[in-house]
Amino acid sequence: MIMNRKLPIGVLVSGSGSNLQSIIDHIERGLLGAEIKVVISNVPDAYALERARKHHLPTLVIRHEDFETREAFDAEIVRVFKSADVELVVMAGFMRIITPVLLDAYPYRVMNIHPALLPSFRGMNAQRQAVDYGVRFSGCTVHFVDQGVDSGPIIIQAVVPVLDEDTEETLSARILKEEHRIYPQAIQFFVEGRISVNNRRVRIRDGKCDEFLTVHNPALSGF
């Protein structure tokens, strides 16, 4: 269901911006009822900025080194987002820990994507952590951001297998494909007003999942 009003979003990036690209593509294909008001990068040469410019989106570099505290850096982000009437903050490969200055300005309105099945493998290099640990499945998680690291209420997850021959790179690529699907979906749930949070459990109104869905790795042989 696409509504006429577009949700004004602000995107925070630091790197390649493939998730930003997926969000842009879903908006342009009419599948995501959002409008990107501004893309902010803390890294001046992030490729994400290139991607945004190619689509004529407003961009801004706010270098964290230019601020004495994390709070002052966040206050500048809030100032920019508020002046652009942003209603939802989307962290897409943004490599900074944010503070209550941003969270209090956007309560349950800051989303992040993490390349693991949270709460496993929080923090940096989640895909390498998964390969090194030897899990049989990993995946990605879109969650609301809270004050912890990768600890906020979970909106949607996708599961992918970890294969014997996987490296950090091959697993990352498999996970990234799913990131590009679940992030636009999570934002669209928000656009449609279908998300509620109760004691950190997120409910998606009319969200469906097959209760008998199970998956094994390696596959079972007749059991």
* Catalytic center residues: 114
Chain position whose Cβ is nearest to ligand GRF:
93
Interface residues with ligand GRF (CB under 6 A) are 15-19, 48, 92-93, 113-115, 176, 179
Which residues, in sequence order, are bridge partners of residue 160?
138
**Collapsed DSSP state (helix, strand, coil) of residue 204:** strand
Residue tagged 């501004």 (tokens): 38
Least Å distance, CB 167 to ligand GRF, is 15
Least Å distance, CB 168 to ligand GRF, is 11
Q: How many residues does the chain have?
A: 223
- Cα-atom radius of gyration of the chain, to the nearest Å? 18
The reply to whether 125 sits in an annotated binding site is no
Q: How far apart are CA 220 and CA 112, in angstroms?
A: 35
Tell me the CB-side half-sphere exposure of residue 189, using CA atoms within 13 A: 24
| Burial readout 177-204 (b: 16 or more C-beta within 10 A, e: otherwise) | ebbbebbbbbbbbbbbeebeeeeeebeb
Structure token digits, residue 164: 């014997």
The reply to whether 98 sits in an annotated binding site is yes
Q: Which is nearer to ligand GRF, 3 or 133 (CB)?
A: 133
Q: Which is nearer to ligand GRF, 10 or 115 (CB)?
A: 115
The reply to whether 17 sits in an annotated binding site is yes
Nearest CA-CA partner of 97 in 179, 23, 152, 19 = 152
Q: Which is nearer to ligand GRF, 107 or 123 (CB)?
A: 123
Least Å distance, CB 175 to ligand GRF, is 7
The reply to whether 19 sits in an annotated binding site is yes
The reply to whether 174 sits in an annotated binding site is no
Least Å distance, CB 83 to ligand GRF, is 25
Q: Which is nearer to ligand GRF, 31 or 173 (CB)?
A: 173
Binding residue numbers: 17-19, 70, 95-98, 112
Binding residue numbers for (6R)-10-formyltetrahydrofolate: 70, 95-98, 112
